Structure 1
């Protein structure tokens, strides 16, 4: 008798739950999946987060926010192409989705699709020319396309809109570095440092300027500051490795260059630095195995032609 009563109570409870859940609106249901996904994303569990976002999309195939958040989860897993696809879906269903266009532009840059990034920058400038992100993406895309005057102008406009953003100043200084205007670059870095002395890219860029000015010890000190502030950037270790090569510490330098390659195997500057190492060691075959290909693919890269010629002369 007690068992039957329990089952009857259970049946009533299930019925009540069913009635309540059936009264939920579609917005409530998909919103709950979105929130659950966000919680997983905050817990650094992007795979589980994507499952919840997909549940939300299953309820509403035009749910732009779910596509956007799913794209952010893909980015945590370094799945750039998948992220671009989801961001494009978000934009398809909400053509004025500013943040989705911005993030897609950044993803295009990471994926080497510079002209598509430029198109997204133009789209942002049409949507909101008073937002620093519009000009920032424009500057990044023009930098990748090696249109340095246009890139500098875009970063200057972004900085005028958000003058407290030290990153925008560092980007301006980077363009000036490419143009070998080291004095102007240093002036901007000093202003940026007054705003945010803990910006690692600032110290890394300063190290690069000091290296060009033949101040190797100063370059090493600055890149060490960058690494202390952010020890997850492959190019910081690669730069330190280069400086150590020229400070007559080739084995220490090679260790750092190899560490950089393990972190980012696609960096041609690291391959150049390995080539320089082998030139310094007098190993012609190994040096040419790195520098010959780089001389063809990146003929304008600093130090490549110089050390390719030295490798050939060994």
Structure 2
């Protein structure tokens, strides 16, 4: 009699087993885990300076949870990297809609409103920040910036002073105070504030630029040039530094060199009215009436209160 041995069962494929296990594990992920992973991936891309890819991951997170405040906030930051201000404001607003006490979202939206020229909306956010936390310097910092844009200089100065009291080691806040004193033509107080800022951070480029502007108004052109060159050495990305250097060179009778710096500033920021004014001043100095009026006529209508516009518009007409 033939003995029949039991048939051996085929061993399961290990790869198949692992694949099934991974599916089961994945299906156990909570919504929080899934959306959190997309948020982290977006953050990694943002750190890698790839905001477009970051936005894609944040959208995935929001698709899983349309009320995900953190994803909206980070997506807004990515839009800011791309200079997409309207999109950033929209996402900051969504973040706030789902987290009404989101201090950071109000602060960043307020700053973005300022950059977008929406000063009254920025003021509303500043007021909201103060109501949320009147012990945080940023509440008054945003208020100061907003009131400055609205040309309410005493209110702006008061806000910057409150911010400085809360954060006295922040050199920017001292420079902000100096800026308001400069607007008010109180150069003595402006210099004191700049000296205070320099004690805290001598590498703050804006303090050297503002000092150069004060020196220019005092007709100390060589010293003004030295100060703005120091600002450019510390930060060579600011178009208005280049523009100021060009202006000082014009008044040092280095006109062609000055024009080169002014043109470089315009290439960096074509809409800067101060650079266009300075180019008009150059043509007045050269005796070119037609070119001078080409720049100064529009400025005289759009920015009649800008320093030197009326003076050089009249000089251009008299050529």
Fold-level similarity (TM above 0.5): yes
Are 2:184 and 1:187 aligned? no
The structure number with the bigger radius of gyration is 2
Alignment partner, residue 214 of structure 1: 219
Partner of 2:83, secondary structure, is: coil
Matches for 1:169-248 after TM superposition, within 5 Å: 169-248=174-253
What is the number of residues matched between the two proteins? 310
Cα distance in 1, alignment partners of residues 25 and 317 from structure 2: 79
The reply on whether 1:76 has 2:81 as its aligned counterpart is yes
- C-alpha distance in 1 between matches for 2:133 and 2:150: 23
Equivalent in 90, 99, 109 of residue 95 of structure 2:
90
Q: Does residue 270 of the first structure (1) align with residue 272 of the second (2)?
A: no
TM-score by length of 2: 0.95
Shift in alpha-carbon separation, 1:63–1:221, aligned structure 2, 3 A: same
SS of alignment partner, residue 278 of structure 1: helix
What is residue 136 of structure 1 aligned with on the other side?
141
Superposed counterparts of 1:1-314, under 5 Å: 8-314=13-319
Tell me how far apart the structure 2 counterparts of residues 272 and 290 of structure 1 sit (CA, whole Å): 7
Going from structure 1 to structure 2, the CA distance change for 1:179 and 1:6 (only over 3 Å counts) comes to farther
Distance 1:7 1:233, change over 3 A: farther
Distance in 2, Cα, partners of 1:242 & 1:64: 47
In the TM superposition, what is the alpha-carbon distance from 1:25 to its structure 2 partner? Answer: 0.9
**Deviates further, 148-157 or 30-39:** 30-39
TM-superposed CA distance for 1:6, in Å, is: 11
For residues 108-131 of structure 1, give each alpha carbon's deviation from its aligned partner in whole angstroms, at most 9, with x where no partner exists: 000111001001000101111111
Name the Cα RMSD after superposition. Answer: 1.2
**Partner Cα separation in structure 1 for residue 12 and residue 241 of structure 2:** 66
| Shift of residue 151, structure 1, vs aligned partner | 0.2
What's the CA shift for 1:80?
1.0
The CA distance in 2 between the partners of 1:208 and 1:12, in whole Å, is: 73
Distance in 2 (CA, whole Å) between partners of 1:7 and 1:119 is 66
CA distance in structure 2 between the partners assigned to 1:282 and 1:149 by the alignment: 40
CA shift at 1:11, angstroms? 2.5
Q: How much does 1:12 deviate?
A: 1.9
Distance 2:77 2:11 in 1: 46
* Aligned-pair CA distance for 1:7: 9.4
Q: TM-score, normalised by structure 1?
A: 0.97
Q: Flag the 1:188–1:14 CA change in 2: closer, same or farther, 3 A.
A: same
Q: Which runs of 5+ in 2 are unaligned?
A: 1-9
